[in-house]
Structure 1
Amino acid sequence: MNLKRSLTLILAAGLVLSGSRVMVRAQGDDETPLPDETTQLIHEVRETTAVYHNLDAGLDAGYGKFLDCFQHGADMGMGQHYVNGDLAGDDVLDPLQPEALVYEPLDDGTMVLVAFEYLVFADTWDPDDEGREPPSLYGQDFVLKTTIPETPPVWTLHIWLWTHNPEGLFADYNPLVACPADQPIVDMAMAGS
């Protein structure tokens, strides 16, 4: 692991684990403190899901590789997703059971856990059905994605628990995460998302 990544991980872990009221960019330019209950929930999620730093634990839990490494143009990364089909196929959103684990694939083949993605398919979570609002977790509304290859419309929310994201804790893409240049990628800038 390089020095920049090590320092970023230490800083991110220290901020989340400190338990203090932290100023965080959730998404976009708004920098607001997370409510105490959200900070506590994030701490619980980190403790409960730390086992997934080991990709084999994720595979054993039913997560499987989804497409190739995602990025948005040359400067914004997301990573390689591993999705649990059973969790993705229902309309239950549980912070302790993310539908997708997101890893940054390094040049040496190492997979580094960087984020989780929560998702629910639009046909199982219709906001027009009985006045239902878009799904939300951590006080953040999900975003409807309609241009993910080989995927029907889906509501999504990322949380960058395991690496710093200067774009925000809940942003879709992270300029500090990259897909190896010599491996296949899914460039969402080309897909329109």
Structure 2
Amino acid sequence: MPVRTRPLIATLTLAAATSLALVTAPASAAKGGDRSHPDLRRAIDATAEYRSEQAAVNDGYLRTDECVEDQALGGMGYHYVNPAHIGSTDPARPAALLYEDDHDGKRRLVAVEYIVLNKGQGRPRMFDRAFDGPAVLPGLGSHYSLHAWIFKKNPKGVFTPYNPRVTCDCPPGAATP
């Protein structure tokens, strides 16, 4: 009898885990956690090479040393902007790559951002979502933006501008860039 109990317990455990996954999946999708959109997959595939900060710089992304953080909302990290991609709604051509400091003093890719200048047009859409904004930034002007947290989980949702898991604090012992 004990020999048959183990397979039954294993089967029930697997069934319970599967049921839990099915129950929680719609909740994460409702929060913007669904990464199954085909264009989001294109964005991930096209930007994975930029996990190497040097690859991003080599492809025209301009490094910044100003980290964006809001005490209440979380952080965005360091923006690396490719001016040639501003205005692009091609998932493979984000205008900005977002990095955070890693524990070894290097920067780690966490998200991408699409930026479209506001020229009086309607709010742009990507990934079946409307962009945020318009907002005004010195040197850029009025623009719309859409963040996609595709390399670091954002508990607030894939398309939320700020991630509470990103801070601008330099990790202890890390070299400053």
2:114 equivalent to 1:118? yes
2:58 equivalent to 1:69? no
Q: 1:94 aligns with which of 90, 96, 100?
A: 90
Give 1:144 shift: 1.5
| SS at 2:108 equivalent | strand
Identity %: 31
Q: Structure 1 73/148 Cα, relative in aligned 2: closer, same or farther at 3 Å?
A: farther
8 Å contact kept, 1:107–1:180: no
Residue 52 of structure 1: aligned partner: 50
What residue identity is the alignment partner of 1:110? K
- Aligned-residue Cα RMSD (Å) equals 2.5
Q: Tell me, in whole angstroms, the C-alpha distance in 1 between the residues paired with 2:33 and 2:72.
A: 31
Q: Please list the CA deviations of residues 157-179 of structure 1 after superposition, one character each: whole Å capped at 9, or x if unmatched.
A: 00000011011100000010111
Q: Structure 1 168/61 Cα, relative in aligned 2: closer, same or farther at 3 Å?
A: same
What residue identity is the alignment partner of 1:139? D
Give 1:49 shift: 1.5
Q: 2:80 aligns with which of 79, 82, 85?
A: 82
Q: Please list the CA deviations of residues 83-108 of structure 1 after superposition, one character each: whole Å capped at 9, or x if unmatched.
A: 001111xx331101101000012354
Q: Tell me, in whole angstroms, the C-alpha distance in 1 between the residues paired with 2:170 and 2:105.
A: 12
Residue 169 of structure 1: aligned partner: 158
Unaligned runs of 5+ in 1: 1-21, 128-132, 183-193
- Please, which moves more after superposition, 150-159 or 70-79? 70-79
| SS at 1:48 equivalent | helix
8 Å contact kept, 2:80–2:98: yes
What residue identity is the alignment partner of 2:167? A
Larger Rg: 2
What residue identity is the alignment partner of 1:157? L
Runs of 4+ in structure 1 deviating by more than 6 angstroms, as ranges, are none
Q: Tell me, in whole angstroms, the C-alpha distance in 1 between the residues paired with 2:33 and 2:64.
A: 33
Unaligned runs of 5+ in 2: 1-24, 172-177
TM-score computed with the length of structure 1 as normaliser: 0.67
Q: Tell me, in whole angstroms, the C-alpha distance in 1 between the residues paired with 2:74 and 2:93.
A: 26
Q: Tell me, in whole angstroms, the C-alpha distance in 2 between the residues paired with 1:104 and 1:35.
A: 21
2:169 equivalent to 1:180? yes
